[in-house]
């Protein structure tokens, strides 16, 4: 098995006796994660919590929008108002001659703890003397108002980290962690693409200040410990596969990285060209992958004994693939998939980057300039490896949190 070349979490989080760290009042032992129901956002929060040594000592709260049907028309509303509109419309939905009352199953709201800023802030204040401050980590646009309200209601009892750029009023948070490409609108090249009358409305409007920590890609959970565990869990299925093992992760078209059947056909042709150099090939689709794309690859490869295609049934092999793969091919639309693969130190090939625009094109450019990815051309010999300095965003972000906490006289207690 090829070593999993991942950096270890930063050590020494609580190397001083507690009396010098402010006692219980300055020792963070717990975290609150505020998610939005999307794994891409919540994984970033949990990855940071893991890197800080607080895995297993966090509670998950969610700000969850109603989904489906007419709800897509109301995504511009604040979540709280959207939920009330959804409730009202469903209350007056008539089936026959009866008004159908809404049930919990039909509301579309999560059964996980609902993110209530007042309740979370009250908990932080009431338990402060006994359990110390609370680290609050949030990610996603819908979590911004909740996280900032918690800081406003309990400023002396919490440390609030917002992941992904909140667009304005950064002073509402103790620390903002966001990719460098979120500041792409401020670059001269981006300014040329924005009509002059819209420039004042494009965010962010100012360069990052001291409360902003910039990463290359997205934070994630794929640290050394988790991948070692995945390597063990998937040993019987993946360890004996003929090498090299090429893993292909396919996402879906986005507004900034558009593709469809054309890219699927191109990817199919390129994979056929390199298949001779692979011992095994495993393909995974995401929930965003259009059926017309997956159908093309299934038709081409489903009968090939070298190729396995995960159909979405059973346990997800994603972590096992990260642990056991010798190389990756990834569609350019997913910052999360790219960030995870580029943290392993293994070869990462990208297809579709030339179709990306705006800040996502800038992200792809930054990866190429760092030497962590190469374009997938179909001319590669997968048995030939190459190396680079792996992305280390999650660990570096955790170190920045520790530094910012120290500025308040606080520390993480393991």
SS3 289: coil
Strand 245-250 with 212-215, pairing: unpaired
Q: What is the arithmetic mean of pLDDT over 297-311?
A: 95
At 19 the pLDDT is 38
DSSP element (H, E) containing 37: none
Least reliable range by pLDDT among 24-38, 103-117, 129-143, 180-194: 103-117
Residue 408 neighbours by CB distance under 10 Å: 13
Q: Which two tokens stand for residue 143?
A: 């979590």
pTM comes to 0.87
DSSP element (H, E) containing 27: strand 27-28
Omega before residue 244 within 30° of 0, cis: yes
Give the pLDDT confidence of 65-94 residue by residue, as tens digits.
766 666 566 555 556 566 555 455 565 654
Which DSSP string corresponds to 174-197?
SEEEEEGGGGGGGSHHHHHHS-GG
At 197 the pLDDT is 87
Least reliable range by pLDDT among 59-68, 103-112, 119-128, 271-280: 103-112
For tokens 């090249």, name the residue: 189
Domains, in order of start, for the chain? 24-87+110-216+394-412 (3.40.50), 224-390 (3.40.50.2000)
- Chain CA centroid to CA 13, Å: 24
More confidently predicted of 113 and 385: 385
More confidently predicted of 195 and 11: 195
- Chain CA centroid to CA 114, Å: 21
Q: Which two tokens stand for residue 176?
A: 């903002």
Cβ neighbors of 30 (< 8 A, separation 6 or more) are 54, 57, 58, 59, 131, 132, 134, 135
Residue 95 has pLDDT above 70, yes or no: no
Q: Which two tokens stand for residue 344?
A: 């392993």
């Amino acid at each position: 098995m090829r070593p999993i070349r991942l950096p270890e979490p930063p050590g020494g989080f609580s190397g001083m006796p507690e009396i010098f760290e402010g006692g219980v009042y300055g020792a963070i032992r717990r975290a609150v994660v505020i998610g939005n129901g999307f794994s891409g956002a919540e994984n970033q929060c949990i990855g940071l919590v893991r890197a800080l040594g607080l895995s297993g000592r966090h509670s998950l709260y969610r700000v969850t929008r109603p989904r489906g049907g007419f709800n897509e028309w109301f995504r511009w509303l604040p979540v709280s108002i959207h939920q009330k509109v959804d409730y009202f419309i469903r209350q007056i939905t008539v089936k026959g001659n009866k008004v159908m009352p809404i049930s919990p199953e039909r509301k579309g709201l999560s059964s996980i703890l609902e993110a209530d800023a007042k309740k979370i802030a009250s908990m932080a204040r009431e338990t402060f003397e006994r359990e110390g401050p609370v680290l609050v980590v949030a990610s996603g646009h819908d979590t911004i108002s909740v996280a900032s309200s918690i800081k406003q209601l309990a400023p002396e009892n919490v440390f609030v980290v917002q992941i992904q750029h909140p667009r304005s009023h950064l002073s509402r948070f103790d620390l903002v962690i966001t990719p460098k490409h979120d500041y792409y609108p401020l670059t001269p090249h981006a300014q040329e693409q924005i009509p002059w009358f819209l420039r004042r409305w494009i965010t962010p409007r100012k360069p990052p200040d001291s409360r902003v920590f910039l990463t290359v890609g997205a934070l994630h959970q794929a640290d050394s410990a988790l991948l070692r565990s995945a390597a063990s869990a998937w040993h019987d299925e993946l360890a004996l596969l003929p090498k090299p093992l090429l893993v292909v992760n396919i996402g879906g078209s986005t507004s900034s990285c558009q593709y469809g059947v054309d890219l699927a056909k191109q990817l199919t042709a390129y994979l056929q060209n390199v298949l001779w150099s692979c011992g095994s090939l495993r393909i995974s689709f995401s929930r965003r992958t259009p059926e017309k794309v997956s159908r093309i690859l299934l038709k081409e490869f489903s009968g090939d004994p070298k190729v396995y295609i995960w159909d979405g049934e059973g346990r997800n092999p994603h972590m096992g693939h990260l642990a056991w793969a010798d190389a990756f091919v990834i569609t350019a639309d997913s910052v999360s998939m790219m960030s995870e693969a580029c943290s392993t130190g293994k070869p990462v090939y990208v297809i579709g980057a030339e179709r990306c625009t705006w800040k996502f094109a800038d992200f792809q450019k930054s990866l190429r300039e760092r030497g962590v990815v190469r374009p997938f051309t179909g001319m590669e010999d997968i048995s030939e490896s190459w190396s680079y300095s792996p992305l280390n965003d999650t660990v570096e972000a955790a170190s920045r949190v520790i530094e910012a906490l120290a500025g308040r006289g606080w520390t993480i207690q393991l």
